[in-house]
Structure 1
Amino acid sequence: MSRVKEKPVEAVAAKEPEYKCSIFGYSPPWLHKFAVFPVFMTIVCMNALVQGMLVNGFISISIQSLERRFSLSSKQSSIFAGSYDVAVGLTLLPLSWFANKVNKVRTMGWGMMLVGFGTLLLVIPQFTSGIYRPGSKTGETCGALADPKAVCPPEESQDFAFPLLLIGQLLIGFGASPLFTYGYSTIDEFDSTTRTGVNMAYYLGVCTLGPAMAFPIGSQLLKIWGDVGRTKSTDFGIDDSSDPRWYGAWWITFAVLGVLSFFTAIPLTFFPKKLNDTDRRKANDKLQPHADLNVDLSGDKWELLRMFKLFTLNPTCMCIIAMQTMESLLMNGYITYIPKLLENLFGLTSGGSSMATGLIIVPMGVIGNYLGGKIGERVKNKVPGLLKWCLIFMLLNVLCSASLLLSCPKKEIAGLNTPYKSGERLWTEANEGFNKAEGICNGPSGENCQCSRMMFNPVCHEKSQITYLSPCHAGCHQEAKLGFNGTKLFWSGCSCSAQHEKAATLDVVTKGWCDSDCNLTMYTFFALGPLIQSAALKVVSFSHRDAFICYGWMWMRFCGSVPGVYLFGATIDKTCLYWKASCSDLSRDSEGSCAVYDVEKLRMYLFALTIIVKVGCALAVAVGRYCFKAEPDEQKEKKPLELSSNHRVAPEDS
């Protein structure tokens, strides 16, 4: 393909019509003074804050509550989370095609309105699916449940809950995609390129602030009973959020943010295509395109495909895209499931895991953005220097991934990973269909306890530190003494706990998991966590920036983010030891949601996955650094390829 001389900036600017701020066609003179970069930057950052709180904050910390509320498996919740990335990926091609044909700022505004509508749609299943029923009304002691389906109270159908959640998440993805494609390019277009790094630092700082605000707020709201005003948690024997059956009021934040999205989006629809102060700010700018990409394709009917071909044939570009894709695969999976992982690896409550996630994300965002900006200044935004530091960070990530080997001591759960009595086989070894099995523990007279899968209320035999799935699984009969010792609810006369080889003659169990002391382990994990997710610097070309951003994001979404969240969900489900069912699950013959995981397998699977991806990222950066060849005139005049350390898939912009 022959190279065409690039058109002067002045010629392009002269042809571009001037626009004025308008409110649905009404353009009063006083409104024009707001069409300046500081006002635009403020409003865009407000929208990025709302989007970050929603997508990378509240949705992530609500996954566990959604699974409990609607009896979803990790695979289903991964489909829900991944549908956002599918929607974003589907919009990238039309966004790149229409980039120079539409008002990008107004497109971002209409998109954020769609985000608001999709967010409100997520709340609907909370009120159309009836109330949350963690178990039956007949109790959870041995012999209390003869026929699980017979005693299930009539409840509203949940058949439409999952489809509504998917539709809402898809709408959020469709609406949010312009904010992080056109958002980057408009910030660069409306201000001098010499200030692009500073502007992006502000922008990504606000993006990081979104999840940082969402996690502590969400952790407090998850301490409120999910069906507040309809039922009480005590109606089901659930005292507080430490109970593993608890689900919090996840929907409150979605309702608030859905309305807030409309308020922040409306001002964007008033902006013109070009700001009043753009010419003044960019008066001294000089184009610095890479020689291989310095091609004018305007007027070519195959313009978009030819641009994509240019990017594909550039080895440095494709190596960077490959690294971004692998990084997004890993990062999107962790961001989606990290609260759930902390709950299972360290025994935290839903609120506690949300707060702990904030402790990882906040320093990661602050330190990563700060270091990225400082290193960019130090190497003067030259490609070789940036790629070298990117490689250093990737190798550091590989070392710090060892923190994934840290977790609390394994919980001993009767029948799952420790036998009831010496010599007995575990249920998983005795019966492949154990998750569907009813009636594990036999009473003292040999009768079957008929413990249902609906019975999930863990109790601990403190002397042996053995956990039982419910009082029924511990052999606590209806006539067993129920009491309160001032701290915990307890049952006595539990035959199965007395039969265990570690139990001696004791037969008392207390409510809740057996405690495991692993504070030091958890603190060590938090200390290494920010380094695991440390920022990596990326390289993009200035020329055709909208097309390049969209092209890279198509790779990152369809080959990274989308399969990443599914891969994490399937991996987590693969380590499940016990599937808990609700009445609706039994009526649908569904497996329900996972209540107990094999922590040893879980952390080893995650460690192996992380190491493989991080090593792949490091290799991609190394190859990209090797393949990059600076143009002789660029070296002579010291005009480096236009760079941005911010065009990347990260928790704040995914």
Structure 2
Amino acid sequence: MLASLTTSQIAASKIRHMMTFLGLVTGLYFLTNVLWGFLYVKIIKRQKKLALRKQAKDNALEGNTQNNGRTNISISTNKEEENKEKHRGGRQTQSQKMEESSQDVSQMTSQQVLCDPTERRSRKRLSTLKMFIIALSFAYFSKALTGTYMKSSITQIERRFDLSSTRVGLIDGSFEMGNLLFLAVVSHFGAQLHRPRLIAAGCLLMAVGALLTGLTHFFMGFYKYDTVIQVLQNSNVSIPACVNPLKTVDMPEIQIEPSVEDSKGCERESSSHMWIYVFLGNALRGIGETPVTPLGISYIDDFAKEENSPFYIACLQTITLLGPMFGFLLGSYCAKLYVDIGYVDMESVTITPKDSRWVGAWWLGFLVSSSLLLVSSIPFWFLPRSLPKQGDETDKPTPPSLILDGAESAQSSNQTIKLTEIAKGFLPSLKRLLGTPAYFLLLCAAILKFNSFIGLLTFKAKYMEQQFGQSASRANFLIGVLNLPAVALGIFLGGLLMRRYKLSVVSGAQFSFATSFMGYLLLLLQFGTKCDNRPVAGLTVSYNGTQSVSYNGEMLFSDCNRDCSCSPDEWDPVCSDSGITYVSPCMASCLNSSGHGKNTVFHNCSCVSTSYPPGSSMSVRLGQCPHAKDCSRSFTSYMAVSVLSSFINSLGATPGYMVIIRCITPDLKSLALGIQTLVTRTLGGIPAPVYFGALIDSTCLKWSIKKCGGRGACRIYDSNMYSGTSYFFMIAVIVLLKRQFWKSDRETELQQPRASKESGIMVQLDIQEKSSAGNTSPKPSSDKTDSTGVEKDLEG
């Protein structure tokens, strides 16, 4: 039924569902806004009542103390001859006056609190700052979840839009492009504006970007993958995969070979360029992320106590680490669901999540993350522009004119700084900064580490799929459950070790280098835990299954299938009992079939007999053959080494970051951190996914072919070359280290003669001191000669 729908009907159905979803989201958004506003008003009113009660109570107690003191003084000065009854009456009168005066003071204080805005701000500043920290923590969690979900969905997006890994890497790098485009502007001018509302606008923009990415699915038709099996009305119809055009064969009308369908004419699919909207949505999300981190951290640092600020920021970072974990878990769940779930009959889907053509419900996670980002933006609209600083006795909010780049300006508000003066100061500071050898080397190391981190995070799940035969769902689940907690634990313990042992700059640099080197050695071990290529006839082995082949288009054909008029562009793999995978039932030369859907079995396959003993089964079933049993043991070893490597690498993250801060002068600290962020994200975040994807594409053995020609997504990779591409970076690092050590040895050789000469001078000085101490009356001439000789040696 669903297969007979036209593309316009499919799009109309999806648009109706999309509009329903948008209506629900809009209604929930306004309802949440109303609830947040109502809650905020209730909190303010409750705080005001508590403040009034506390102030009235304090003033009443103070009035009681003062009046009691006055009463005691008057009693002591009175004469002893006065009557006790008269004294009691006077005391009662004074106590009544005291109560009346205390009530007047409490009423005056209550009116003062109600009328004085400064008093109101001072009572709510602590709760408002905590509300800001909670809201910012949720925003951090939401943006981290969305970012890692994008990483976990790279494979699904690649297959759905039929793209190469290079182009998918470009889509992934669009986030950094959008972020860096406005980072400097927002960081500089954002501190002079309403920071909470700018953060709210950023979260709202991120929500729109994630929503645009997810809504792309609703403007596309159903996902179509290459297969010879169509939705049959009669499940008993046999499918003759091998068709000889010279013979007359009765075929069911619904069976259409891809090669025959393509010959009818080329009509470009409407979804061929829809990936551009994913690119734009990711870039929009990068633009929206710009104000969240710099303005949020500066807001906390401005209005929190100096001793509380690091604790608040540490809490933020800890909560942020939970976002990637849940992002990968969400990616794991969505990868299990079929992309068109709810629109197609799942019994008609003939592929499984382990198939290279499987596409999960990648769009669903973006809608979920968009909703989270939308909710996270709401509290910031109700937060004030500035707060009184914690511990400030004046309890007055910091004027916006005194806030500059997250701190109070050291200069007067009337003094203006010209742009030319800033430029004149910037260039010498930048020259001084880059001229610091320690900072420059650490910056280069940070660029290399960030490149490897981004490349690994982007394509790690894809590597696990292709190298070990894991599904995308399982790969994302293992990364979220095993690798990311190890990273979080390593970062925490690294900071704890630095605090416990009070590491200096040199010790911190040594510790960071040691952990990086150990992580690099463990990375080498990971490449030893790999699986061999799956035996695919015509791609990795010959049709008799005895020898490896170098792939070319002609190797797909053999004597057993030359009469079948198969297309070399097909990819509908089938597995034989011998463990050899064939590109399609036609390439296996199968004559008939039984069953339907995923349970379809093809029989009388001529090519199977060439690699199997005579008299054995000549049937194949849908899907690729699994890896050998020893591959599961290799995968277990790989995951163990991967988790250990992640933990050790992250141990040196905090010490390395602190070394960068401490190795420079305080006046260059902000510039150093800004340059590091700019350079690492420009030279690491943008190009790394692209060139890693290009290296991965170079190992592809079989590409899908688009309807109008051109390469699509890769169907199978060469596992040996896939892991071997990483040796390129290893060789480059080894060459650089070798050159560095050769340079150091050369400098040592040049300095050795001078050092030996200086050591000889020091020995001679030692001898002279001993001789002068041993002789009580040394000869003047000898002293003079020796001293002049030493002076000549020193001059030389």
Residue in structure 1 matching 2:157, options 41, 54, 66: 66
Specify whether residues 349 and 151 from structure 1 end up closer, same or farther in structure 2 by C-alpha distance, changes over 3 A only.
Answer: farther
Secondary structure of the structure 2 residue equivalent to 1:231: coil
Specify whether residues 155 and 595 from structure 1 end up closer, same or farther in structure 2 by C-alpha distance, changes over 3 A only.
Answer: same
Higher relative contact order (CA 8 A, sep 6+): 1
1:207-218 equivalences in 2 (<5 Å): 207-218=320-331
| Percentage of matched positions with identical amino acids | 23
Structure 2 equivalent of residue 457 of structure 1: 572
Over residues 387-436 of structure 1, what are the superposed CA-to-partner deviations in whole Å (9 max), with x where a residue is unaligned? 221112111111111233122232111111111248999462xx4xx3xx
Structure 2 equivalent of residue 574 of structure 1: 698
Over residues 565-619 of structure 1, what are the superposed CA-to-partner deviations in whole Å (9 max), with x where a residue is unaligned? 11111111111110023xxx222x2201001011111112124426756997999
Over residues 159-217 of structure 1, what are the superposed CA-to-partner deviations in whole Å (9 max), with x where a residue is unaligned? 34111111101001111122233344444444344455543432222121111112223
Distance 1:396 1:269 in 2: 47
Offset, 1:380: 2.9
Contact 2:164 2:712 (8 Å CA) reproduced: yes
1:301-320 equivalences in 2 (<5 Å): 301=419, 302-303=421-422, 305-306=426-427, 307-320=429-442
Secondary structure of the structure 2 residue equivalent to 1:592: strand
Q: Quick one: which amino acid aligns to residue 469 of structure 1?
A: V
Contact 1:402 1:607 (8 Å CA) reproduced: no
Contact 2:433 2:668 (8 Å CA) reproduced: no
Residue in structure 1 matching 2:225, options 109, 131, 134: 134
Offset, 1:145: 4.6
1:58-457 equivalences in 2 (<5 Å): 58-98=149-189, 100-135=191-226, 141-143=241-243, 144-150=257-263, 156-238=269-351, 240-280=352-392, 299=417, 301=419, 302-303=421-422, 305-306=426-427, 307-380=429-502, 382-405=504-527, 406-421=529-544, 426=549, 428=551, 431=552, 434=553, 440-441=557-558, 443=560, 446-451=562-567, 453=569, 455-457=570-572
Residue in structure 2 matching 1:519, options 632, 641, 665: 632
Specify whether residues 115 and 487 from structure 1 end up closer, same or farther in structure 2 by C-alpha distance, changes over 3 A only.
Answer: closer
Q: Quick one: which amino acid aligns to residue 248 of structure 1?
A: G
Residue in structure 2 matching 1:48, options 140, 145, 165: 140
Over residues 360-409 of structure 1, what are the superposed CA-to-partner deviations in whole Å (9 max), with x where a residue is unaligned? 43222322222122122124364223222111211111111123312223
Aligned length: 570
Distance 1:88 1:247 in 2: 29
Distance 2:589 2:464 in 1: 30
Distance 2:735 2:321 in 1: 26
Specify whether residues 425 and 43 from structure 1 end up closer, same or farther in structure 2 by C-alpha distance, changes over 3 A only.
Answer: closer
Structure 1 equivalent of residue 707 of structure 2: 586
Contact 1:401 1:611 (8 Å CA) reproduced: no
Secondary structure of the structure 1 residue equivalent to 2:460: helix
Consecutive unaligned residues in structure 2, runs of 5 or more: 1-35, 48-120, 231-238, 244-256, 396-409, 744-796
Specify whether residues 225 and 495 from structure 1 end up closer, same or farther in structure 2 by C-alpha distance, changes over 3 A only.
Answer: same
Higher mean displacement: 252-261 or 87-96:
87-96
Specify whether residues 187 and 361 from structure 1 end up closer, same or farther in structure 2 by C-alpha distance, changes over 3 A only.
Answer: farther
Distance 1:442 1:506 in 2: 20
Specify whether residues 422 and 363 from structure 1 end up closer, same or farther in structure 2 by C-alpha distance, changes over 3 A only.
Answer: closer
Distance 1:195 1:599 in 2: 51
Q: Quick one: which amino acid aligns to residue 112 of structure 1?
A: C
Contact 2:156 2:359 (8 Å CA) reproduced: yes
Over residues 7-29 of structure 1, what are the superposed CA-to-partner deviations in whole Å (9 max), with x where a residue is unaligned? xxxxxxxxxxxxxxx99xx9996
Offset, 1:222: 1.8
Specify whether residues 196 and 346 from structure 1 end up closer, same or farther in structure 2 by C-alpha distance, changes over 3 A only.
Answer: farther
Secondary structure of the structure 1 residue equivalent to 2:711: coil
Distance 2:614 2:550 in 1: 20
Structure 2 equivalent of residue 636 of structure 1: none
- The structure number with the bigger radius of gyration is 2
Residue in structure 2 matching 1:532, options 626, 645, 648: 645
Distance 2:530 2:394 in 1: 53
- RMSD, aligned CA: 3.7
Contact 2:165 2:693 (8 Å CA) reproduced: yes
Contact 1:323 1:617 (8 Å CA) reproduced: no
Offset, 1:316: 2.8
Contact 1:36 1:277 (8 Å CA) reproduced: no
Distance 1:118 1:613 in 2: 38
Is the helix fraction higher in 1 or 2? 2
Offset, 1:334: 1.2
Distance 1:423 1:147 in 2: 33
Structure 2 equivalent of residue 494 of structure 1: 605
